[in-house]
Structure formats: structure tokens, C-alpha cells
Amino acid sequence: MKKVGIVMGSDSDLPIIEKATDMLKALEIPYEVHVYSAHRTPAEAKEFASTAREKGFGVMIAAAGMAAHLAGAVAANTTLPVIGIPCKGPVLDGLDALLSTVQMPTGIPVATVAVNGGANAALLAAEILAVEDSALAAKLDVKRASDAAKVLEKDRAVAEKLNV
Ligand code: RP5
């Protein structure tokens, strides 16, 4: 199976990335994680992105906060699909990172998930890999059914408590 390449702008983004790695682990998808910043270590970020395809990666996840240019910088250096996670910073509630990540110019797409959306980034990466992997697609179907069952259980509990 192709690997998921994961890069975060700072180790302070780790709690968000761990939501992604937990999900990938649960789905038994291989991944490799790095701390490379678009601003502080641009050469390393570029090298990771530009060599990713030949190293066996199939999709990239990039998480950053504040002036969050990392996902865009990764996308500029690979034609693998890139998923951007805007991370909430100390001011502006993540709106700064959301706009910096999502507002990419035509030609260099970044599939942007919600602010702090680490789990969905991993699920989207899994769905991309599952296009060519029916066993992984089956795992995603099982997870969807299990998630739906949990919601319906909550529905039953709320209905029992409140309905007259
Ligand atoms: C961004 O700046 C990082 O992705 C992080 O979200 C934010 C703050 O970084 P630190 O100052 O905590 O290293 O580049």
C-alpha cells in the first residue's frame, strides 16, 4: 500500500497530527511523520514534497497554524494529492490558518479540512488510497456503518429520555 506523508509546521501541532495518526493506525495505513516548516525549514519541506512520489507516498497531509503556508508549499512541489489541516493558533481562532490553507491559486490545489480536523484529514487520505484498494474501501465501509450505529444508539437513548 502507498504511504501517507505527514508534515507539521511545528511540534506544537502534534495534538492535531495525533488525531490523524490514530485514525491511520486504526485503518492499518502506513505513514511517515516530519516536522518541517514552510518558513523555518523551507528546504527540508520542499525536499520531502518533491521526492515523495518516488519514495512510495500516495497522498500528503500538511498541518500548520497562523500564516499556514505549509500545505501550499508542499502542493507546489508535488502532484500527489495534498490535504491541508489548518491548526488553531493563539489568536484569530484558526481563521488565519484556514484562509491561508484553503485560498490556493488555480493550478496548485490543497484539499482543506476543518480547523484542527486531523481525523478527517486521515479519513480523506484513506479514501484517496481506497480508490485503488478494495480491502481498504471495505474497512471504510465498516467504519461508516459502525459510526452510524453509534449515532442511532444515541438517538434511541435521547428518544427514550425525552419523548412522551
Ligand atoms: C506554524 O506556526 C506552526 O504550524 C504552528 O502552528 C505555529 C506556531 O509554531 P510554534 O511557534 O509553536 O513553533 O508555523
Under the banding of pLDDT at 50, 70 and 90, the label for residue 35 is: very high
What digits encode the pLDDT tens for the residues 124-143?
999 999 999 999 999 999 99
d(CA 30, CA 24): 7
pLDDT for res 138: 98
Under the banding of pLDDT at 50, 70 and 90, the label for residue 120 is: very high
- Enter the pTM of the model: 0.96
Q: What's the one-letter identity of residue 18?
A: E
Ligand 1 pocket at CB < 6 A = 9-10, 12-13, 37, 64-66, 87, 89
Q: Which residue has the cell 491548526?
A: 87
pLDDT for res 144: 98
137: closest CA among 123, 124, 127, 125? Answer: 127
pLDDT for res 69: 98
Ligand 1 atom closest to the CA of 65, numbered from 1: 6
CA of 64 to the centre of ligand 1 (A): 7
pLDDT for res 7: 98
Q: What is the DSSP letter of 54?
A: T
